[in-house]
Amino acid sequence: MSSTKDSILTYVLTPLSWIYGAVTFVRNKMFDRGLLKEREFDVPVITVGNLTVGGTGKTPHVEYLVGSLAADYNIGVLSRGYRRATKGFVLANSKSTPEFIGDEPYQIYQKYGMKVHVAVCESRVKGIRQMLEADPRINLIILDDGFQHRWVRPKVSVLLIDSTRPIYKDKLLPLGRLRESWKGIIRSDIVVVTKSSESMKPMEYRLMKHELNLMAYQKLFFSRYVYGGLLPVFPDDSPYSASLNDLTERDTALLVTGIASPRGFVRYFRDYACQVKVAHYPDHHDFSRKDLDELKKKFESMAGARKLIVTTEKDAVRLSNNPYFPESLKPFVFYLPIAVQMVPGLGEDNFVESVKEAIERK
């Protein structure tokens, strides 16, 4: 029965996928031939993006670049600010909230706001122009999720590919998750295969490199996530710390996620002794009072010698600023920070240098 439904769905969605592919093909050709104009700026621009919808790790990789380059450049980070309540250009400051600038830009600002400028704008051309007017000392712009935004011509284009869902096995929207044909990879200067598992064998790396079939001018790297220790979402309300290594099979962790691809996050917890329950919401989910009341009931109904709620770093940003979050739950809510690590032996030593070389190239 399931295969019949899948066949019907494929039959219905395939023509829509063809139409979508034709539209993106024509659009890209118009840019390639100069019928639609790409804007260049006097300062170098790095785009960090993907060919699929959500889940490749754009924000952690933007943070990795910011952390690696902030000592050498005056950086401006520009994002669209997905699902924010404001419009137009907004420069992040100490009074900014996820509601005003979006959860991911807010997360970047909270970490690096003392070192870089962070702004949001639907029009990247307008956003870059206004960032440079706000501070003429900016000499490097990083665009978060800018691969398809071709109105800006980048100096360096970094394309992210999810290792768990290779683009050469995917299909165009709405049949698959591709925003455009995976042949668009040719526009990238640097390709990073993200979420590479520690269990991946050398043969798997070589096979993926072969399938991607990059041009001579393109460089390929592999990255993985490294998880830190649990941190309280509400530090002032948390009287104790929690460590995954201290949890036993008598303890229970409720994982709350509102990200595009939560599998890696959930899988990480399966290696620990505690019981695991999951409450998953859509990407960038805005938790309502009803959502939080339901989470409270679920938490209170759980068994366990110790109980805690664990969420992702991105979800922690929204939850910590949510006025409806139950006071009684605050001491028990933690988030798991993540960082990007280039896979040793496969580009760890020269990824940043490759980016710098591309920035400085005439």
Q: Do residues 173 and 87 share a domain? A: yes
Instruction: Measure the CA angle with vertex 208, ends 202 and 212; round to 5°.
Output: 150
Q: Do residues 124 and 205 share a domain? A: yes
The CATH number that applies at residue 242 is 3.40.50
pLDDT, residue 55, reads: 80
Q: Do residues 91 and 198 share a domain? A: yes
78 lies in some domain: yes
259 lies in some domain: yes
For residues 95 and 143, give the distance between their C-alpha atoms in angstroms, rounded to a whole number. 22
What pTM was estimated for this model as a whole?
0.92
Distances (CA, A) of 232 to 13, 96, 106: 44, 21, 18
pLDDT, residue 359, reads: 95
212 lies in some domain: yes
What average pLDDT values come out for the chain (362 residues) when binned by 10 residues? 70 91 96 95 96 90 96 97 93 95 95 95 96 97 93 96 92 94 95 90 90 93 93 82 86 93 89 92 92 96 92 94 94 94 74 93 77
Q: Do residues 325 and 356 share a domain? A: no
Q: Do residues 199 and 331 share a domain? A: no
Buried b (16+ CB within 10 A) or exposed e, 147-180: bbbbebebbbbbbbbbbeeebeebbbbebbbbbb
Helices 103-112/313-320 angle, 10° precision:
100
- The count of domains in the chain is 2
218 lies in some domain: yes
Residue range of the domain that includes 240: 229-336
Q: Do residues 71 and 100 share a domain? A: yes
55 lies in some domain: yes
pLDDT, residue 241, reads: 73
Q: Do residues 238 and 181 share a domain? A: no
Q: Do residues 196 and 309 share a domain? A: no
34 lies in some domain: no
